[in-house]
Structure 1
Amino acid sequence: MSESTASQTGLRYWEKQTSAGHRVSGYHSEPSDRPVIHFVHGNGYNGLVYWPLLRRLGEHYDLFISDIQGHGESEANGHFKGWNQTSLLCEEVWRDYRHLWPDQPHYGMGHSFGGIMTAFMMARAPSLFTRSVLLDPIIFSKRMLLMMKVGTFLGLWQRNSFAQKTRQRRSHWLDRETAYQSLEGRGMFKGWEPEALQSYVDFALKDTGEGIELKCPAELEAEIFSGFPRGLWRTLKKVRTPTHVIYGESTYDFVRDSVARWDGFNEWISTERVSGGHCFMQQQPEDTTKRVLKALGQHKV
């Protein structure tokens, strides 16, 4: 699948054995003299699910797409390593590959869960990226985090609504056409552009010989929803990389409130509200591309 995907997108496949013991992988452009965007996906997706956005950005920048544990072609290898360790592994991978672009600016970018991975990377190493654009980062409020900590201690948070819905969601179909028809206009896919939904069907599903199924195991995705980033707000205070946050006007209430709070106390953060929901970039990839280009263009190279 990796070879056919590389041929389909024009990207190179890469893989690396992490210090945590599992293999992760992804794709990158042929290195050139252009700046490079390092991209991390949301939970349950993988980088190429965002191909309608990334291929447009690829007309202006090189791309490095990093798929975390159990997503895309990366190994699941048991239980989820946790939000904090996963961000360390994302950094570990990037430090192994960033030399391919020795004299070009490096830009960080991520959606939802991937936005938090990128924020943690920047907080630990402010010079890792020249600037960043985060798309609807899943920033939990302090109150939610307290509830998660208490709920985890009591064994309740592991059965939260996000995790439960994930475990109950359909994960097998007869073929890709059936999957597309089944998902179109439903749940989180409501309002997605046809090319975005097709990218999900093409890249988030795998052939089994008896049909197709989700690449990301439902239990692993649920584990991610059952966890949370430790020290989130302390970390957000440490971000010193110019960062532009774009969020959907109809996203989760806590995301809108948390983005405003972050913008209020960290001078390195700017924000922008756009039409659409948590996956606005899949609903309007052309518009999102223009906004990302504008945000990255604010930096004079």
Structure 2
Amino acid sequence: MLSTASAYRDLTSPWTSSAGAGPTLRGRRHDGHATCLHFVHGNGFCGGVYWPLLQQLMPCYGLFCHDIEGHGDSDRPDHFAGSVAIARRIAPVIAEQKPGGQTLVGMGHSYGAALTVRAAAENPQLFGALVLLDPILMPTPVFLATRLLAAVGRNPIARGALRRRDRWPTRAQAWARLHDRGIYRGWRDEAFNCFIEHATRDDDGERTLACPTWLEAAIFDHPLYPWQALRQLRCPVLFVYGTQTYPFIAPAARKAGRLVAGIDVRTQPGGHCFMQEDPQRTAATIREFLTTHGL
């Protein structure tokens, strides 16, 4: 398991960017293919957490993992800049870093998929296709309820983030406390080890979450409203969601199917992090979609 997790750093190269407003961003890249996958992670995670999936795609595609502020190795912000501001840093970073390949595919999970949709809508020439894995695209009633609860400090998922333990005496204790619990339930051990390796860090003799809990909570309180952006998409889109994911995502997928011409909507067994439960099946679905579109 350790060798699988460390391979993410061994087989990719680091990048650093101050493009756009905000703290310094960092991530990993692998160039050398005609098509490159620009990947944005979910809230509280980072690119390396998805290595069991991403390594399945590297033989055919380049990779550019974009870790947003306060996640992975990217610097922590002093305050939450807002989801729109975070999304608007994607295009400047891409322009500066110039990920290899002739075509860039926007790919993301959860919050990262929502950010990718926003970036694609505001920059129509940025991506040749989109791969959205269990994207947080809230139907309007869910979005309004989330914002109302956030305004009065009663959003349950944000409150849970603020209450969660964020440091442990050792790496082994972090593993034991979190393994197969909550959002990590059902993950392959290799995927969970990648979380421990890349989304936690050593700090003053202890092991702590890389993403501060206040930032994770702020992101939960401030989802992106997706529907205008979805109407603006003009490239092929794959939307995959787990059969046991959040209840609002299936209705969101149906609405996306009405708004986005030719969108390919599929389900996969599993929860919100189905790609951590079965990375091989997820990779096969992505390859099939991209191959169908000549990518």
TM-score (ref. length: structure 2): 0.94
Any conservation in 1 of the 2:114–2:135 contact (CA below 8 Å)? Answer: yes
Any conservation in 2 of the 1:6–1:12 contact (CA below 8 Å)? Answer: no
Aligned mate of 1:184, from 174, 179, 183:
179
Alignment correspondent of 1:28: 29
- Equivalent AA in structure 2 for residue 238 of structure 1: Q
SS in 1 for 2:244: coil
Any conservation in 2 of the 1:50–1:199 contact (CA below 8 Å)? Answer: yes
- Structure 1 position 6, deviation (Å): 8.0
- Equivalent AA in structure 1 for residue 70 of structure 2: G
State the alpha-carbon separation in 2 of the partners of residues 258 and 76 from structure 1: 31
- Structure 1 position 202, deviation (Å): 0.6
Any conservation in 2 of the 1:6–1:13 contact (CA below 8 Å)? Answer: no
- Over the residues paired in the alignment, what is the CA RMSD in angstroms? 1.7
Aligned mate of 1:117, from 106, 115, 118:
115
1:252-281 C-alpha deviation (Å, 9 max, x unpaired): 110111111111232142100110000000
Are 2:236 and 1:242 aligned? Answer: yes
- Equivalent AA in structure 1 for residue 269 of structure 2: S
Q: 121-130 vs 110-119, which deviates more?
A: 121-130
Alignment correspondent of 1:217: 212
1:90-149 C-alpha deviation (Å, 9 max, x unpaired): 121112122x42x52211100000001111111112221111111000111111222244
Alignment of 1:1-301 (within 5 A): 8-29=9-30, 31-98=31-98, 100-101=99-100, 104-151=102-149, 155-156=151-152, 158-230=153-225, 232-300=226-294
Q: 272-281 vs 11-20, which deviates more?
A: 11-20
- Equivalent AA in structure 2 for residue 174 of structure 1: P
Any conservation in 2 of the 1:6–1:27 contact (CA below 8 Å)? Answer: no
Paired residues in the alignment total 291
1:52-110 C-alpha deviation (Å, 9 max, x unpaired): 00111112211000000100111122111111111101121112122x42x52211100
Task: Among all aligned residue pairs of Structure 1 and Structure 2, give the percentage whose two residues are the same amino acid.
Answer: 34
Any conservation in 2 of the 1:69–1:80 contact (CA below 8 Å)? Answer: no
Distance 1:183 1:150, change over 3 A: closer
Structure 2, unmatched stretches of 5+, are none
SS in 1 for 2:88: helix
Distance 1:119 1:7, change over 3 A: closer
SS in 1 for 2:89: helix
State the alpha-carbon separation in 1 of the partners of residues 147 and 216 from structure 2: 19
SS in 2 for 1:72: coil
State the alpha-carbon separation in 1 of the partners of residues 54 and 193 from structure 2: 14
Q: 138-147 vs 6-15, which deviates more?
A: 6-15
- Equivalent AA in structure 1 for residue 232 of structure 2: K
State the alpha-carbon separation in 2 of the partners of residues 9 and 138 from structure 1: 31
State the alpha-carbon separation in 1 of the partners of residues 149 and 264 from structure 2: 33
State the alpha-carbon separation in 2 of the partners of residues 75 and 159 from structure 1: 28
SS in 2 for 1:45: coil
State the alpha-carbon separation in 1 of the partners of residues 18 and 64 from structure 2: 17
- Equivalent AA in structure 1 for residue 145 of structure 2: M
- Equivalent AA in structure 2 for residue 89 of structure 1: R
State the alpha-carbon separation in 1 of the partners of residues 36 and 68 from structure 2: 19
- Equivalent AA in structure 1 for residue 167 of structure 2: H
- Structure 1 position 36, deviation (Å): 0.6
State the alpha-carbon separation in 1 of the partners of residues 261 and 16 from structure 2: 36
- Equivalent AA in structure 1 for residue 186 of structure 2: G
Any conservation in 2 of the 1:40–1:118 contact (CA below 8 Å)? Answer: yes
SS in 2 for 1:159: coil
- Equivalent AA in structure 2 for residue 58 of structure 1: M
